[in-house]
A and B are shown apart, each in its own frame.
Chain A
Amino acid sequence: MKPKSFQEIILTLSEYWADQGCVILQPYDMEVGAGTSHPATLLRALGPDDWKCAYVQPSRRPADGRYGENPNRLQHYYQFQVLLKPSPDNVLDLYFGSLRAIGIDPAEHDVRLVEDDWENPTVGAWGLGWEIWLNGMECTQFTYFQQVGGFECRPVPAEITYGLERLAMYIQGVDSVYDIEWVEGRSYGDVFLRNEQQYSAYNFEVADTEMLRRNFDVFEAECRRTLDAGLALPAYDYVLKCSHAFNLLDARGAIAVTERQGFIMRVRALAKACCGAYIDLVSPSAESAPSLPEGGAL
């Protein structure tokens, strides 16, 4: 059987997780460093409600760009992200089922779960889980979230993050990410090589650092103002904008040693505030709070 193309892998995973009852979302329409940052994961991991979703998330790590010259590193790549809250008892079986769906039968390979304690201090989040190795290749990160934004996750979600390019390279047997068959007759390189060249140059050489610094300040202020207005979700967008501005500044080498921690602390403070506001929004006591005035009607 012909190995699945890149887009077939995405379609198959989407269908598989849809069959497991996941809401299939589209990518978040902002620059994020990882699928975890999508509010459908980061914010929805909090609060008491059940939630299952899956989506592809283009992820940007400006400092990882290699001008299209390294066969394994990209400044823009895809993650397939699944969040299951609460984590089902058979969550690992479900995950291995998804590998079978895209043509990898774990019984035919060497599959190992290797300890990986995940921590993201910038958003005050941590969890325990594994890197999942397929014949020695890390193909997925699996995490039971314990805290997000400094708040306990109850119930506990399981997060599954597939590295799509790596999986596709493995499934298709190619040694360069640019040789992945996106769809018959189109390679990953056809679609993205020019992007990698251009964005690497932009990220490392061209991005206007003064503008980025100004933007960071402006986004931070807007985040605070929006939080003051009680709007956790739009406020969170500005956390993402701050993060991306910081990542670009970092790639440009424009963050002095002494400033670095300060920037991270500022982003963390915003992220935590958004998580706190989100919890207030979704926890049962808060839902009953803004009840209609006596005698009021719609």
Chain B
Amino acid sequence: MTGSRDLVFEIGVEEIPSGPLYAAISQLKVLAAVALKDARLEYEQIDTFGAPRRLVLVVQGLSERQNDLDMRAKGPAVRGAYDENGEPTKAALGFARGKGVDVADLVRDTENGGEYVYAVIRADGLPVTDVLPALLARLASGIEWPKSQRWGSGDTRFIRPVRWLLALYGADVVPVEFAGLTAGRITFGHRFLSPGAIEVPSVSEFFEALRRGGVLVDAEMRAQLIREGIVAAATDAGGTAVVPEKVFAEVVNLVESPSVGVGRFDPAFLRVPREILETAMESHQRYFPVQDADGALMDAFIVVHNGDPDRTEAIVRGHERVIRARLSDAAFFYDEDLKAGMESWVERLSTAVFQEKLGSVADKVARIERLTEALGTLHGAAPDETSRAARAAHLCKADLVSHVVVEFPTLQGVMGRYYALASGEHEAVAQAIVEHYLPRFAGDALPASVAGLLVSAADKLDTICGIFALGQAPTGSADPYALRRSIIGVLTMVLDGGLRITLDEAVSAALAGYQGTLDFDLEATGAAVKAFALGRLEIMLRDRGHEFDTVDAVLQVAADDPADAARRCDALTAARATAPMADVTTAYARARNLGDALLGTEYDRSIMGAAETALADAIERSESLVAGAVASADWDGALARLAELRGPIDTFFTDVLVMDPDESLRANRLRLLNRFTALFAGVADFSRLQG
């Protein structure tokens, strides 16, 4: 049993961006575990940490020696390894060379009845200090970055320039060489609060040395500290902080020594829409807004800074001056926007490109307006709903050229709503403008208004159909226009949002918008878009817990109306869980296998026996009931009626020899079975169901 010590390896880097830093902290942990295992090094625990200027690996209880290597590698079968004279073949020679052993040292053994040659590989474990320098250097170069760079005259690539390396095994330096540097026991603290080198005597003093140097290297501890600081600061300001997770996570990795302060701005800015103020604070400055008990924004902001905690007061004054400039800029843009009319923006959309070959945004808006009206008719919307939707479609992209949206693109739609209200548009029009971007991602809210649903669907279908008409349908992972997300959005609105459209008509109406301006095959494009939509619908329905064959059976008969297809799936999935339905489904399969469509469904009652007559009675009784249920889209009812046939059909199959030698009897029975299977056709294609 050899002894063990702790290891610390620190890569000192110029400020690492936040996102990649999180990823590198996790990567390093995984890479280290693999590398130590491959190197036959035992350890108790691996931890990784990171702060803007450093990535840190700590291995506790790292064994002082590698385990000895003693393994057998399986080679070719003996009969392939030696020729008739007993000489090793090329296969054996190659195998031995590959394993680094002499061919004469290969041994034979049997495995699963076959005889094979084996290479026995033994090596004594080396001291860990012999192994670590190369191992740690490989770890450093093995980290994958989304983007990496060179610096100075070197060729190393890293996320940002590497400026120092520290590697200690207990109290001993591990001289790792990486990026033209050799590791020592020197680290650096906070860039401004602790200038100069810090010497670290041993692993156990590393974290304390960093702490004294003004660095909290554990992101979770920084997060904790910042979270507490934000709560305290908000309380201080008399409200609660608005803390989007994404901004918070970024801020944690923007500071090595977090301090939290609260600043104020002129309450006169609160007349500007809240979203503008929030975006200005969060996206540009990474400040956290504060709101009062009623949820109204307050004239305060919270800043997490990287400076001297004792200077928080003065630093906050500095931030207050900066926010004043940002907010007055934003207010200036907003006021300028209010002076302009939305109509003038609609005109300017002709200078904004939608897609190179599909024309300007103004062209798109004209198409969306017409399509919105067509979808309104399809949906059965009230005339005033449709006209408001069309008005919203006309204005839905106008804010793209407003000052505020040019400055803060994430406010598209949100600003459109404000500007529409300010220019006296109906509330429903304004609401539809902001809603037409919904849903933006899976699980996002859907438009709540009919007008919002119509404009959203029109916008998305227009993009999908235009790109398909160009022949640029998504392939594999390439979906540059996010068409999958768009079609899923449309389908989700149909399935869950109450939008009533059918695919054929909606797609034709959308493609009609491109006729005359774009040269494409109308029929083929329509079919391609529909197939694309059905492909996504199939996946969505399966994701909702329906078996693939249930979805398949339903889409065979109800592909044009996704909402109807979903309801049929719900009913069929529920029904298939019951015994009668399972039996009837089995009987259906049998009946269909026997049936001969050419014989038709008109049977002759006069030559029927009791079981046949009973089945015929049951079918005829069911026919009008099933038809009625189908007509009213009562799929549970329709399936219940079908399930009631279990008794008669089972008795029929038990008592009656279908393939009677008498051809007229046989044909009559097959007609009866045809009549039986025909009953199912209006609900789903039961032949697609398995078992």
Contact = CB atoms under 8 A, between A and B. Distances in A.
Interface of A: 70-72, 86-89, 92, 96, 106-115, 117, 127-128, 130, 134-137, 144, 146, 154-156, 158, 169-170, 173, 175, 253, 256-258, 260-261
Contacts of A256: 351
Contact of B14 (A92, A109, A154, A175): A92
A106 B192 contact: yes
B188 to A, nearest CB: 11
A84 to B, nearest CB: 10
Contacts, number: 121
A144 B319 CA distance: 28
B518 to A, nearest CB: 14
Contacts of A155: 152-153
Q: Determine chain A's interface SS by DSSP, over half rule.
A: mixed
B255 interface: yes
Query: 4 shortest A-B CB distances, which residue pairs?
Result: A135-B318, A115-B17, A110-B305, A113-B15
A130 B15 contact: yes
Given A114-B254, A136-B303, A257-B353, A71 B152 contact: no
B352 interface: yes
Contact of A70 (B14, B161, B329): B329
Given A108-B308, A113-B15, A128-B160, A156 B324 contact: no
Contacts of B148: 128
Given A144-B161, A155-B153, A111 B325 contact: no
A109 B18 CA distance: 21
A86 B152 contact: yes
B332 interface: yes
A96 B319 CA distance: 19
Interface of B: 14-15, 17-18, 52, 147-153, 159-161, 163, 191-193, 254-255, 285-287, 303, 305-308, 311, 314-315, 318-319, 321-325, 328-329, 332, 350-353, 356, 359-360
B192 A136 contact: no
Nearest to A139: B322
Nearest to A90: B163
A156 B161 CA distance: 11
Given A115-B17, A175-B321, 6 more contacts: A88-B152, A96-B191, A106-B191, A106-B192, A257-B350, A258-B353
25 contacts: A70-B329, A70-B332, A72-B325, A86-B151, A86-B152, A107-B308, A108-B311, A110-B305, A110-B315, A112-B254, A112-B306, A114-B254, A115-B17, A117-B147, A135-B319, A136-B323, A137-B325, A144-B160, A144-B161, A155-B152, A156-B150, A169-B325, A173-B321, A257-B359, A258-B353
Given A128-B160, A136-B303, A156 B14 contact: no
B152 A89 contact: yes
Contacts of A111: 191-192, 306-307
A73 to B, nearest CB: 8
Given A110-B319, A111-B307, A261-B356, A136 B287 contact: yes
Contacts of B163: 89
Contact of A144 (B149, B305, B328): B149
A282 B192 CA distance: 40
B114 to A, nearest CB: 54
A136 B285 contact: yes
A173 B320 CA distance: 11
A66 B277 CA distance: 22
A119 to B, nearest CB: 11
Nearest to B53: A113
A276 B530 CA distance: 49
Given A128-B149, A136-B303, A109 B315 contact: yes
A154 to B, nearest CB: 8
A146 B18 CA distance: 21
Given A71-B325, A86-B152, A87-B152, A136 B319 contact: yes
B444 to A, nearest CB: 27
A107 B351 contact: no
Nearest to A84: B152
A156 B307 contact: no
B153 A135 contact: no
Contacts of A169: 325
B328 A175 contact: yes
A110 B306 contact: yes
Contacts of A128: 147-149, 159-160
A130 B191 CA distance: 15
